[in-house]
Amino acid sequence: MKKILSLVLVSALGGALTLSAYKLFLEKENQVVVTPSSATTPNFLPTSHVNTLLNNAVGEAPDFALAAENTVNAVVHVKNVTISSGQMTFEDLFFGRRPQRAQMGTGSGVIINADGYIITNNHVINNAHKLSVTLNNNQTYDAKLIGTDPKTDIALLKIDADEELPYVTFGDSDHAKIGEWVLAVGNPFNLTSTVTAGIISAKARDLSGNSSQSFIQTDAAVNPGNSGGALVNTNGELIGINTAISSQTGSYIGYSFAVPSNIARKVIEDIMEYGNVQNGVLGIKGSTFNSKVAEDIGINYTKGVYVGEVIKKSGAEKAGIRKGDIIKKLDNIEISKFEDLSGYIKSKRPNDLVNVELLRDDELITLKVKLSKTDAFTVNFIKMDLQDIPDAYKKELNIEHGVVVVNTKNKWLYSNLGFTEGYIITGINDTKIKSIEDISDLKAKYGDDVLSKIKKLEYINLDKEKKEVIFR
């Protein structure tokens, strides 16, 4: 019996060894794929299904070489000679002379077509007595100033060359993305043809505090001398004109700012075609829509521009935009804050049509607005811009007539009467002022001598106090 049992155990052991050897050396490998149940995967984890390892292997970093090579040949060194008063000596005082001395300022510019038109910043060429431009091949030309727009800090120059010049093609700054790689090309510290790289850090950035600017912000190194130079994408397309830096030292410490190419292109096209800038206006007064505003009006939404007032006779009023509407998009461009709106409108002209998508009573509505000229609802009178008073404001002040000051450069009225934005003119020379049409009639009646004809002025100040002043 023991012999039989031993024989069985030896046979089993031999079979096991034989099977193991077969599995190890002879049988082909079978791959087994295990698919986990979807129920075991946490559905609250954000997951990317892109093979990042493969992507990194294909292109570990963007190649700027071609974009840089094309751009440096179209970016120029702008030199601005200004004349200023020199230090007066005793002899100058004795002979009644006013000594003058020349000062040299430098910056950058971008050739935008083969005929030699160059875009730069207004502050680069401001007060120029003589302008010259040096190309990347060291050729120097005298430059002629075609026109400027101080509001956007854009200027247009022209040089005459015997051959066609290299130039940069405009890109679409509205579609530039935060995080996108960009190159800044210019002449910082007189170092010609300098290229730096960075990413777009933010869009529609305002540095003025009154939402009037809409810069592209980047972390590409920009220093004094870069002003007027090119900000290009990796395709070498112009998406901005480098304009400003935010710094406590006056030099680069992390962020720079560029006028978007869509605004810059529109400005120079206006200068070339009309001789001045044609500004289209939507016709609203609003603010960035934040959580405080949302709480005040009782809705749960924090992106967009809140319409606080609709200007009378404007395109917005005619199209049906109302106070309390929340503007979300302009022509499918998302509007998150007021700087988005003002930046987009700056790229448009009077009579352009803009599709405005807005939120009203939890319903999305799209209205087509025809942009107005500012003089359609604004009149300039004794160095002040005046507009009709909104009906809601009339009720608040319990008045029936008047025009409101929206901008003033009248230093005399400001220093003597405190006249500033928000003051309301209700009467002139014992005549009620009901609208800006009455102001236009006064201008037509008195002509250039209107200021001397004003004997009495009735107004309401910012404290809602009714005042009057008699001029002798």
Catalytic residue annotation: 123, 153, 227
- Cα distance between residue 437 and residue 65, in whole Å: 59
Q: Find out whether 337 and 316 touch, Cβ atoms under 8 Å.
A: no
Strands 117-121 and 144-149: unpaired
Q: How many CB atoms lie within 10 A of CB 265?
A: 20
Q: Find out whether 255 and 327 touch, Cβ atoms under 8 Å.
A: no
Q: Find out whether 121 and 227 touch, Cβ atoms under 8 Å.
A: yes
Cα of 262 vs its chain's centroid, Å: 9
Query: Which amino acid would we find at residue 79?
Result: K
**Residue 79 backbone dihedrals phi, psi, to 5 degrees:** -115, 130
User: Token pair 């499918």 is at which residue?
Assistant: 332
Q: Which class for 166: exposed (0-12), middle (13-18), buried (19 or more C-beta within 10 A)?
A: middle
Q: Which class for 26: exposed (0-12), middle (13-18), buried (19 or more C-beta within 10 A)?
A: exposed
Q: Is 131 helix (H, G, I), strand (E, B) or coil?
A: strand
- Cα distance between residue 368 and residue 373, in whole Å: 16
Helix (H) or strand (E) holding 133: strand 130-134
User: Token pair 């005793």 is at which residue?
Assistant: 90
Q: Find out whether 198 and 184 touch, Cβ atoms under 8 Å.
A: yes
**Residue 282 backbone dihedrals phi, psi, to 5 degrees:** -70, -45
Q: Find out whether 467 and 458 touch, Cβ atoms under 8 Å.
A: yes
The alpha-helical segments, DSSP class H, found in 42-121 are: 52-58, 65-72, 90-95
